[in-house]
Structure 1
């Protein structure tokens, strides 16, 4: 929905950490946080006090009562669909947290609703908004790398299960574990580096190695098991993703592993390659030349940081698109649906013990 007044009127559904992040960023960029909705009374009260917003228990009531331009949806994954679709039906532009939904069928319904809506839906793959990614994409457009044929994608935490007993570790609410929580970023970023080719096939294995162990070592203080705690998701996954033209992605994702943490991504192209961290600033490029003599050339680019990156940069781009009344080309529903199909294939492949087609 376009907003000629120059200040977006934002409503937020789900007022926890990410809902507050969206609200803070919106106010930072001069927009109005008009209202918020959350089932938890204390959370609503804190949000109202912090942002001067009117709060509601149900998002439907907020949509009916308020004049909004846009909505940020940051509920647990299982509740994305009703909040997003209802907002789109009201004509609002929507910023949905990743992943698009907790399962593929739900994601497909959101995508169908977005295709028929007057407003647009953007998904918060915030790691694309980084200095290294921006520089990489500009060089890619100039043809420096040729055709990117393989990406080695890593999002490995040594210890980092986000609250055993929270909705993150509950299959019904989240739709999965490490793959859904952080793997979604790695899948999206790898495909983004390859200009989002069609994905054809996945072979994967998921593992649960730490979440059920009483002797779990947790120096990061993530672990908070109670008698009621639910942990019925995976804490790591390994996958090989084959795309059109025999392009491939090797994926390693862990909430916990006995190895050093890494967010390294390596892109191999026919004319050059690159190495960068997810959400990072530094980019190293690998080339070859014949000037003087045959040689290899490695160059590392530093400095020149973007003004806004990560969550701030992603929110800013969404709000600018709302102001302009134009759907952004970045972080589209169609791309988020592709990621959801890969996630679905990872789980199906691990269960079947064989490679599966991406449907």
Structure 2
């Protein structure tokens, strides 16, 4: 019989920065980091020292040897599927890094495995856990914005191409560039503000202009300028998404661009609109009134800090759900699959130069 009061016993697949982030959050939330798996021996040794956990080169060996409740998957995107499906087949709960996979077909197989499992799969869309987002959703539930009909979302870096020559810039491992790495957050967030309507059509233009220029890379990341370095992905995209009921999303995403950095999101409704940043604290509400005289309203609210925001908030929701035995209401595999369909449509549209439909089967 499952004990829904005991700490969750967590295994981690992929022990780099995000794998360690998941492990740290789990420990700070009172759960047990039991084991980790990674191909790199030095990374395994560091993880074992830091968390006092058993480590394995192969995640299947870890699954076989350890008594786990849940697994966090933080590998390069191309390896999400085997790690996640293997865990779900053993009825473990899975927290998968975004995006769900490197291709739509791979994402669909993960979702199918989750549907057949007694465990559940959630995806780490951590920008939902912020003061500004909490305020927006409360006002939305009260009807403050009326019918929400358009979201304009930006995730723009001026200089921010990560690890040129690493898996981030190798399409076979990542599945794409800026759209997959950071655009995925803006896509999910915009759909979340629109309450995840059915997506119908996508038109997109992608560009690859700065991958061979060391003056446009992330100043905090290394740059491999050798002939063997791979950069076969986009560094920016402009996207228009049409959803059911003529609701729309416009998206600007870039790793590098000659414009100011921005994570601003603007949402328009029939009664009011809003401005907030991904993961931000402040919410500005726009409207109009006739009290006294015709006027426009612009009111900014600064939210207090959340007990658990960002990555920690996403981890808490996942681990609370795993301990309770009830799948979480947010960050579901179904939502992640919708995002993956949009990503797939972005690349199909960019290749064809035309608007494409988004299959939802």
What's the CA shift for 1:16? Answer: 0.3
TM-score (norm 1): 0.98
Query: In 2, distance between residues paired with 1:249 and 1:118?
Result: 35
Separation in 2 of the partners of 1:131 and 1:303?
5
Q: Which residue of 1 aligns with 2:115?
A: 115
Cα deviation for residue 219 of structure 1 reads 6.8
Provide the aligned length of Structure 1 versus Structure 2: 358
- Segments of structure 1 that go 5 or more residues without pairing to the other structure are none
**Aligned match of 2:300:** 300
TM-score between both structures, scaled by the size of structure 2? 0.97
Is contact 1:3-1:322 (8 Å) kept?
no
2:161·2:217 contact (CA, 8 Å) conserved in 1? no
Deviations 1:190-236 (A, max 9, x none): 000000000000000000010023x5344724351242211100000
Aligned to 2:223: 224
Secondary structure at 1:18 match in 2: helix
Per-residue deviation at 1:336?
Answer: 0.3
1:15-26 aligned at under 5 Å gives the runs 15-26=15-26
1:97-123 CA distances to partner (integer Å, 9 max, x unpaired)? 000000000001111111111011100
**How is 1:123-142 mapped onto 2 (pairs within 5 angstroms)?**
123-142=123-142
Question: Displacement, 1:163?
Answer: 0.5
CA-based RMSD of the aligned residues comes to 1.2
Shift of 1:305: 1.9
User: Alpha-carbon deviation of 1:2?
Assistant: 5.4
Per-residue deviation at 1:290?
Answer: 2.3
- Residue 55 of structure 2: aligned partner: 55
C-alpha distance in structure 2 between counterparts of 1:226 and 1:294, whole Å: 59
Q: In the alignment, is residue 199 of structure 1 matched against residue 199 of structure 2?
A: yes
Query: What does residue 42 of structure 1 align with?
Result: 42
Match of 1:323 in 2: 323
Alpha carbons 2:207, 2:236 under 8 Å: kept:
yes
- Does residue 282 of structure 1 match 2:282? yes
Could you tell me which residue of structure 2 aligns to residue 94 of structure 1?
A: 94
CA contact (8 A) 1:156 1:257 kept: yes
The alignment partner of 2:48 has SS state of helix
